[in-house]
Amino acid sequence: MINGEEVMVPNSLESITDLLKHLNLHDQVVIAEVNEDIIDNQKQSETQIKENDKIELVRFVGGG
């Protein structure tokens, strides 16, 4: 589950960083939450994702 929607991703994705690259979000500021735990940006490459994880991704956009 990503942002409340069931999303199929390749099994080769192992970390939050891999997921962000897959979703073309790797060059943006993104806050990631996995199973209700906020993942520090420096730990995204270490944080493994598994089937049935509930992931929330929030990115910041400019505007007024």
Mean pLDDT of 32-55: 95
Q: What is the mean pLDDT of residues 35-63?
A: 92
The better pLDDT of the pair 19, 26 is held by 19
Longest dimension (CA), the chain: 39
Going from the C-alpha of 13 to that of each of 9, 54, 61, the distances in angstroms are 7, 15, 26
Predicted pLDDT of residue 34: 97
Segment holding 37, helix H or strand E: strand 37-39
Q: What pLDDT score was predicted for residue 37?
A: 97
User: Which tens digit of pLDDT belongs to each residue from 4-18?
Assistant: 999 999 989 999 999
pLDDT band at 64, cuts 50/70/90? low
